[in-house]
Amino acid sequence: MDTALPNSTLDAALAEARERYAAANPASLAAHQDALASMPGGNTRSVLFHTPYPLAMARGQGCRLWDVDGHGYVDLLGEYTAGLYGHSHPVIRAALDAALDRGWNLGAHGTAEGRLARLIVERFPGIDLVRFTNSGTEANLMAVATAVAVTGRPRVLVFDGGYHGGILYFGGGGIPINAPHQWVLGQYNDADGAVALARAHAGQLACILVEPMLGSGGCIPGERGFLQALRDVATETGALLIFDEVMTSRMSAGGQQARLGITPDLTTLGKYIGGGMSFGAFGGRHDIMDRYDPRRADALPHAGTFNNNVLTMAAGVAGLTEVFTADAADALFARGEALRTRLDALSPAMQWIGIGSLMTAHFHSRLGRGTVRSPADIAGADPGLRELFHLDMLERGFYLARRGMVALSLEVGTAELDGFAAAVAEFLDSRARLLADPR
C-alpha cells in the first residue's frame, strides 16, 4: 500500500478510505445487502457493525481470517477476548470431535461439568462454588440477581463506562434497554466518590459490580487503590463485591483478582473459558452459592437448557488443562505488555491503554497526552480518527475492533506482532498531518 496518502482533511481522508474499502469488498457488500432483508441493519450483534458496511468472514485458521472476497487478515480482534485459542486449535477440535461422537443434547448430568467447575474453583481465589450460564451477560444478570436475593436489598453500584453485557451497559450513564435494577452510578477509578456513594446507599445497597479493567470502555485499568476501596466499603456496608472478570480472567491463571490480591464475593466469567464455545459462569463464596443447592428446601432456582452443554464443557476442560496453563497465561500477559509498550512509544498522537494481552488505541490530538483513568479522559477524542485507523489497518491486513481494541490470542506470534507494529508506524507516518489537525 502506498503510504503517501492525501492528508487534506479528516473528512476527505475518510471518504477516500471508504471508497477503497467498498471497491475491494463487493462480496461482503452483497452479503450485507442480503442480510438487510431479514435483520435490522443486516445485523444481529451491534458491536460487529462498522461503516461503510461490515466484512463477512468465510473462515479462520490459527491467528488468521479470510473474508468472502478472499482477503487474508491477522486476527487481532480475538473475538473480543473469547478467541483466546485462535481458530480451530487442534486440542479444542479434538475435544469437540470426541464430544460429538458421544452425542449431544443429552438432557442430563454429565461428568465434564464437574471437571470444568473444579478447574475454575482451583484457579480463582474468589470462587468456592460455581454455576454455568451461556454468556457473560447472563452470568452478570445472575450475579446481580443473586446479590439482591441474598441481601434483600435492591440497589446496585455500577460505574460509568462499564459493560457487563447487552442489557448491562453504562457507557454515557446507561442505555434504555438495561435490566430494571435500581442502579447507582459512580465514576471509575474515583475511590473517594465510590466509597461516599456506597455509604450513602448502605442500607439499600445489594452489591458493587465492577470490571477490574473497563473492557468495552477503552481497556482502562482499574487502579489497585480503587478496587481495594471497593472491597473495603463492600465489607463495611454488607454489600457484595462482584468482579466482572469476563475479559480480565485471562490476565493470569487466577484472573486479575489473583494478580491484585483482592478477593471479591462473587466473580463472573465468560468468553474463552468455554474453549471458544458459548459460555458464562458466576461463582463465589460458599455461603452465597450454596443457596443454589437444589437439595435445600429454600433453594434459589437457576435453569438453562445449555448451561452444561457437552461441547462447551469438553472444550473448556481441554483448553484449561492442555493449552491455557498458568505458564501460558503468564507468557501471554508478558507478550501483551511488551507489545503495548512498543506501540505506545511510536507517537504521542496515539496512546495505547490496557493490561496484558488486551489494549485499545486512543487518539489525543485534541486532548493532549496524559494518563487515562476514566471514560471522561477519552470523551473528546475524534471518532473519525478511530474509523480511519480501523479502515487503514484492514487495508494493511490486520483485523481489530472498530474502536481500536486488540485482544491477542495464543496463536499470534512474533512475526504477526512485528508486522502490526510496522503497520501502525506506517499509519502514523502517512496520517501525520491529520493526527496533528484532523479538521
**Active-site residue, selected from the candidate residues 244, 265, 377, 392:** 244
| Residue 271 among the catalytic residues | yes
Q: Among this protein's residues, is 73 annotated catalytic?
A: no
* Candidates 80, 163, 188, 399; catalytic one: 163
> Annotated catalytic residue: which of 75, 271, 377, 392?
271
- Three-class SS string for the chain? CCCCCCCCCHHHHHHHHHHHHHHHCHHHHHHHHHHHCCCHHHCCCHHHCCCCCCCCEEEEEECEEEECCCCEEEECCHHHHCCCCCECCHHHHHHHHHHHHCCCCCCCCCCHHHHHHHHHHHHCCCCCEEEEECCHHHHHHHHHHHHHHHHCCCEEEEECCCECCCCCECHHHCCCCCCCCEEEEECCCCHHHHHHHHHHCHHHEEEEEECCEECCCCCEECCHHHHHHHHHHHHHHCCEEEEECCCHHHHCCCHHHHHHCCCCCEEEEEHHHHCCCCCEEEEECHHHHHHHCCCCCCCCCCCCCCCCCHHHHHHHHHHHHHHCCHHHHHHHHHHHHHHHHHHHCCCCCEEEEEECCEEEEEECCCCCCCCCCCHHHHCCCCHHHHHHHHHHHHHCCEECCCCCEEECCCCCCHHHHHHHHHHHHHHHHHCHHHHHCCC
- Annotated active-site residue 80? The verdict is no
Residues annotated as part of the active site? 163, 244, 271
